[in-house]
């Protein structure tokens, strides 16, 4: 699935987009719901373009009609018209802008919602292979980029095209000789414009890249871990040097951009002088020889801007369009990523379960060819506590990922109450499973909101009961606003042990049949440890639990200990049996679980039960 995807490499270059009919139709598809608005906007653009032709014609009428005939009345009417036309087109412009914004914002709204929902449905593998920044960038920058393109480039292009077309029709109907001269001059102007457009595009890309480089250095070194690393290896000067280097490159590009803009403006100025000069020269000759009226020449000069303005803009439209297609392409790339884990059409609702989980000959590979689990088989009976132990990298976490189907097995099968996991709906499977990880993740919200995340319908009394069971009541009562205290980033700071108990309370509220518990490796003081044991007791009862065990109490209480080593179950049994075996478990026990000095602390309730 991931083959041919771009995101795995730190890609900065925009992809070369092939403009296909399918791509264009797909983009147009997003506009289909707003066809009415789109038509209205296009119609307004056409009317504005047509109104723009009126003032030059009025000038011609002043010079050719009102002045020679000394017609003051006509002069007044024409003058009013000169003011009226811009007012009218200005008003229409407001309306058109309103329509544009509505369309582009709605398309962006749809696209963003669609993208968020889709990315949400993707599998864990996607998130482990993409940088978070990359996802954010596509959701934010690319979608906003598209809105800009839709709101400005697209309408501008259509407006310019209308303007060019109407002006061409008018100039040719006024006088074909001057019209031909005007059009013939266009290439002189066009060639440098295109060239400048290309260089400017490259410079813009370069600027973006330099900015990204700078941001990367800042992100890497100006955060807690990066800062500590930099300080501890005394690399401040090295990093400052790297930063200065990139900063200097950015400065150079900016200077070049600015100079280019200036050169281009100079060129335009020359041309702005050259165009009218030639029209006056040739047009004046035609007036002198009697082939043309003075008013027409003046009208022509005025119309010249309406001719070259759009030509200049349209000359570079291809670059803009390619840029925006690239944005769409990047978004479609995500939308086209098939969720790896999804319901089969025949998937059934799991309903309530007893929580019997059976692994049959399960093998698993994250990367094809590299086995992380190899023919793993075991059964967990309802309500059993299964402890997973083994050296780091043995595959314990992987086992716990396979139960909620964060990944599908490569070979073999996993069953819950006799149903292969792949034959039931993912959501009904998740309803049966609760997960408590090492690092408790809390949203930046109140205690109550964080807990209610587990069960949106939970009553306040249910929340309080869960807190009581999780030994959290007292902690909450000490908080400034009780259950309404903001925890997380900018709120009340919870200690590691308290956070774990919030996680426990959260799962208690969900009340799943199967529990996955990844015990924190960090050692806690004995009092906190004891509180967590107490909190865990109601959590473990009545559920099939898979615990990645780091505490003695857990292995002692386990109905079954599975000892994993390099993807194999090398031993299985109770603590007493495995110690008697004198194998890997006995070794691990010595280094990992055995209390440093017996009698260090009183036995916890669970340990007492186990003995
Ligand atoms: P444990 O939890 O026992 O420490 P894990 O289940 O986390 O072990 O990892 C088992 C093996 O799988 C390790 O060799 C690890 O490097 C590899 N592994 C874990 N996650 C990934 C991943 N996303 N992609 C590739 N390999 C992975």
> Ligand 1 center to residue 371 CA distance, Å?
10
Please name the residue that has the structure tokens 């590691």: 496
Q: Where is pLDDT greater, at 219 or 352?
A: 352
Q: Does pLDDT of 601 surpass 60?
A: no
Q: Where is pLDDT greater, at 352 or 216?
A: 352
- Give pTM, 2 decimals: 0.76
> Ligand 1 center to residue 366 CA distance, Å?
8
Strands 385-389 and 560-565: parallel
Specify the 3-state DSSP secondary structure of 41: helix
Residues composing the chain: 611
> Ligand 1 center to residue 501 CA distance, Å?
27
DSSP states along 158-192? HHHHHHHHHHHHHHHHH-HHHHHHHHHHHHHHHHH
d(C-alpha 307, C-alpha 313), whole Å: 11
Q: Which atom of ligand 1 is nearest to the CA of 125?
A: 23
Q: Does pLDDT of 378 surpass 70?
A: yes
Q: Which of 372, 387, 408, 518 to mutate to test the pocket of ligand 1 (most atoms within 8 A of CB)?
A: 372
Strands 419-420 and 433-436: unpaired
Name the closest-CA residue to atom 21, ligand 1: 366
- Order of strands, sheet of 514-518, starting from the edge strand that comes earlier in the sequence: 433-436, 514-518, 544-548, 385-389, 560-565, 568-573
The answer to whether 145 and 267 are in contact (CB under 8 A) is no
Please name the residue that has the structure tokens 């292009």: 157
Instruction: From residue 433, give the alpha-carbon distance in Å to each of 400, 416, 449, 510, 567.
Output: 11, 11, 20, 9, 23
d(C-alpha 326, C-alpha 332), whole Å: 10
> Ligand 1 center to residue 130 CA distance, Å?
17
pLDDT band of residue 354 (cuts 50, 70, 90) is very high
Phi, psi of 332 (to 5 degrees): -65, -30
Q: Which of 128, 363, 393 to mutate to test the pocket of ligand 1 (most atoms within 8 A of CB)?
A: 393
Task: Please state which of the ranges 47-51, 426-430, 495-499 shows the lowest mean pLDDT.
Answer: 495-499
Give the residue from 212, 209, 210, 204 showing the smallest Cα distance to 246: 210
Give the helix/strand (H/E) hosting 72: helix 72-121
| Tens-digit pLDDT profile for residues 111-130 | 899 999 999 989 888 888 87
> Within its chain, how far is the Cα of 531 from the centroid?
40
Task: Please state which of the ranges 274-288, 396-410, 476-490 shows the lowest mean pLDDT.
Answer: 476-490
| Tens-digit pLDDT profile for residues 251-289 | 999 999 888 888 888 877 887 788 889 999 999 999 999
Q: Does pLDDT of 11 surpass 80?
A: no
- Looking at residue 17, its pLDDT comes to 65
> Ligand 1 center to residue 503 CA distance, Å?
24
- Looking at residue 594, its pLDDT comes to 77
Q: Which atom of ligand 1 is nearest to the CA of 395?
A: 6
Q: Which of 397, 567, 570 to mutate to test the pocket of ligand 1 (most atoms within 8 A of CB)?
A: 397
Average pLDDT estimate for 337-344 = 88
β-bridge mates for residue 387, sequence order = 547, 561
Cα torsion angle, 130, 133, 138, 139, sign: positive
Specify the 3-state DSSP secondary structure of 97: helix
Q: Count the neighbouring beta carbons within 10 Å of the beta carbon of residue 75.
A: 16
d(C-alpha 102, C-alpha 200), whole Å: 30
* Residue 320 DSSP symbol: H
d(C-alpha 573, C-alpha 569), whole Å: 11
pLDDT band of residue 416 (cuts 50, 70, 90) is very high
Average pLDDT estimate for 147-169 = 85
The CB of 385 under 6 Å from ligand 1? The reply is: no
| Tens-digit pLDDT profile for residues 28-56 | 888 899 999 999 999 999 999 999 999 99
Burial class (CB in 10 A: 0-12, 13-18, 19+), 391: middle
Cα torsion angle, 420, 424, 430, 431, sign: negative
Q: Which atom of ligand 1 is nearest to the CA of 400?
A: 6
β-bridge mates for residue 419, sequence order = 416
β-bridge mates for residue 571, sequence order = 563
The answer to whether 294 and 64 are in contact (CB under 8 A) is yes
The CB of 398 under 6 Å from ligand 1? The reply is: yes
| Tens-digit pLDDT profile for residues 507-554 | 999 989 999 999 876 666 777 777 888 888 888 888 999 999 888 888
The CB of 397 under 6 Å from ligand 1? The reply is: yes
Largest CA distance in the chain: 121
- Looking at residue 95, its pLDDT comes to 94
Tally helices (H) and strands (E) across the chain.
24, 10
Give the residue from 333, 425, 403, 428 showing the smallest Cα distance to 118: 333
The CB of 401 under 6 Å from ligand 1? The reply is: no
The answer to whether 99 and 92 are in contact (CB under 8 A) is no
Torsion-angle region of 573 (φ positive above 0: left; ψ -120 to 50: alpha; else: beta): left
d(C-alpha 350, C-alpha 355), whole Å: 11
Name the closest-CA residue to atom 6, ligand 1: 395
| Sequence-ordered list of residues with C-beta below 8 angstroms from that of 325, at least 6 positions apart, any chain | 17, 19, 23, 27
Q: Does pLDDT of 611 surpass 50?
A: no
| pLDDT, averaged across the chain | 85
d(C-alpha 535, C-alpha 507), whole Å: 11
d(C-alpha 124, C-alpha 441), whole Å: 16
| Tens-digit pLDDT profile for residues 59-114 | 999 999 999 999 999 999 999 999 999 999 999 999 999 998 899 889 889 989 99
> Ligand 1 center to residue 511 CA distance, Å?
29
> Ligand 1 center to residue 368 CA distance, Å?
13
Please name the residue that has the structure tokens 């047009």: 283
**Residue ranges of domains in the chain, CATH in brackets:** 20-335 (1.20.1560.10), 357-610 (3.40.50.300)
| Tens-digit pLDDT profile for residues 283-317 | 999 999 988 899 999 999 889 888 888 888 887 77
The CB of 567 under 6 Å from ligand 1? The reply is: no
> Token pair of 321, please?
């369009």
Name the closest-CA residue to atom 13, ligand 1: 393
Task: Please state which of the ranges 89-93, 147-151, 372-376, 458-462 shows the lowest mean pLDDT.
Answer: 147-151
Name the closest-CA residue to atom 26, ligand 1: 366
């Amino acid at each position: 699935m991931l083959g041919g995807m771009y995101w795995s490499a730190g890609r900065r270059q925009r992809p070369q987009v092939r403009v296909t009919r399918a791509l264009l139709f797909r983009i147009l598809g997003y506009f289909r719901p707003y066809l009415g608005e789109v038509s209205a906007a296009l119609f307004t653009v056409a009317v504005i373009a047509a109104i723009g032709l009126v003032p030059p014609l009025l000038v011609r009428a002043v010079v050719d009609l009102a002045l020679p005939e000394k017609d003051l009345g006509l002069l007044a009417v024409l003058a009013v018209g000169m003011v009226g036309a811009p007012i009218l087109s200005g008003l229409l412009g407001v309306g058109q802008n309103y329509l544009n914004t509505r369309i582009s914002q709605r398309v962006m709204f749809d696209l963003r919602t669609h993208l968020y929902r889709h990315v949400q449905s993707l599998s864990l593998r996607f998130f482990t292979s993409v940088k978070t920044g990359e996802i954010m960038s596509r959701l934010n920058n690319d979608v906003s980029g598209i809105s800009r393109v839709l709101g400005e480039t697209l309408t501008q292009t259509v407006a310019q095209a209308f303007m060019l077309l109407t002006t061409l029709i008018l100039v040719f109907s006024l006088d074909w000789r001057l019209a031909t001269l005007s059009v013939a001059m266009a290439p002189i102007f066009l060639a440098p414009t295109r060239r400048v457009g290309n260089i400017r595009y490259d410079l813009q890309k370069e600027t973006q890249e330099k900015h990204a480089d700078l941001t990367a250095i800042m992100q890497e070194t100006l955060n807690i871990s990066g800062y500590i690393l930099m300080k501890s290896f005394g690399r401040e000067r090295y990093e400052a040097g790297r930063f200065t280097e990139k900063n200097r490159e950015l400065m150079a590009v900016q200077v070049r951009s600015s100079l280019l803009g200036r050169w281009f403006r100079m060129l335009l100025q020359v041309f702005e002088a050259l165009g009218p000069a030639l029209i006056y020269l040739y047009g004046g000759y035609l007036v002198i020889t009697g082939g043309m009226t003075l008013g027409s020449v003046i009208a022509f000069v005025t119309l010249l801007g309406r001719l070259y303005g759009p030509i200049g803009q349209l000359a570079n439209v291809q670059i803009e369009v390619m840029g925006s297609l690239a944005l769409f392409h990047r978004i479609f790339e995500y939308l086209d990523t098939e969720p790896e884990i999804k319901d089969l059409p025949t998937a059934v609702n799991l309903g309530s379960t007893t929580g019997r989980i059976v692994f049959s000959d399960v093998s698993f590979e994250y990367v094809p060819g590299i086995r992380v689990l190899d023919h793993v088989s075991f059964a967990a009976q309802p309500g059993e506590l299964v402890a997973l132990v083994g050296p780091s990298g043995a595959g314990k976490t992987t086992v716990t990922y396979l139960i909620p189907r964060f990944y599908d097995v490569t070979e073999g099968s996993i069953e819950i109450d006799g149903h292969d996991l792949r034959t039931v709906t993912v959501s009904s499977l998740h309803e049966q499973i609760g997960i408590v990880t090492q690092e408790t993740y809390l949203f930046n919200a109140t205690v109550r909101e964080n807990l209610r995340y587990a069960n949106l319908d939970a009553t306040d009394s249910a929340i309080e009961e869960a807190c009581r069971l999780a030994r959290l009541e007292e902690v909450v009562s000490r908080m400034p606003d009780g259950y309404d205290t903001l925890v997380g980033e900018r709120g009340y700071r919870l200690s590691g042990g308290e956070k774990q108990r919030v996680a426990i309370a959260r799962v208690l509220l969900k009340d799943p049949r199967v529990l996955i518990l990844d015990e924190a490796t960090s050692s806690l003081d004995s009092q906190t440890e004891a509180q967590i044991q107490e909190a865990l007791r109601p959590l473990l009862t009545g559920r099939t639990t898979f615990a990645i065990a780091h505490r003695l109490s857990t292995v002692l209480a386990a109905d079954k200990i599975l000892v994993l080593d390099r993807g194999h179950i090398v031993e299985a049994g109770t603590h007493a049996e495995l110690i008697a075996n004198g194998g890997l478990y006995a070794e691990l026990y010595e280094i990992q679980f055995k209390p440093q000095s017996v009698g260090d602390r009183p036995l916890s309730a669970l340990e007492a039960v186990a003995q």
